[in-house]
Amino acid sequence: TSPFAWLRTRFYYLLIRLYFDQEFSIEEFKRGAKQAFSVVSKLLSQRKLDLLEELVSAEVLQVLKEKISLLPDSHREALAADIDAIMYTTEGDVRIYYDDDGIKFVSILMCFWYLNGANLPDEVPGEAKVFQIVFGDENKKEKKHLLTANYEFQREFTEGAKPDWTITRIEHPRLLE
């Protein structure tokens, strides 16, 4: 992350605390986003899209229904991120905006790097094979892939709105395209 982007996101966090939610904590948000990412990615890999209705926007859910049905099993399995396999999490873009009706929104893009042992073909570009771990004897090797995902979380801060974050964008590069 560039120093300018880091400074800009910190400024937005200050604005969120000053004008929208005095108890907002980016560390607490990141913990919740990490947990939500793990749950949603596992539900995606299991094709349990009906359980995502409260977590994901209707527009994203419709796109996911179309894409998941076309995925090969290896790609679908690679979507799942166990919370203990998430190696790195960082926030990307933070936006504060108002729509034409004066409704206030905050969006935070989260980037996740996670290990997954799905049997992906070697020609999958954009991901790195990180580990080949030998358990027991030389004949049994387990491959782990370092994969990335971007999830955007949005919350409405208009008076009387539910205080829930909704996922408004899901990207698993090279897997869910």
Q: What is the domain extent for residue 105?
A: 3-171
Q: How many domains does the chain have?
A: 1
149 inside domain? yes
Name the nearest CA neighbour of 151 among 90, 65, 96, 75. Answer: 90
Both tokens assigned to 129: 């094979």
Note the pLDDT of residue 134: 45
Q: Is 147 exposed, middle or buried (0-12, 13-18, 19+ CB in 10 A)?
A: buried
- The one-letter code for the residue type at 95 is R
Which CATH number does the domain housing residue 108 bear?
3.10.450
Average pLDDT per consecutive 10 residues, the chain (177 residues; last block may be shorter): 87 94 94 97 95 95 92 92 94 90 93 88 56 54 84 93 94 86
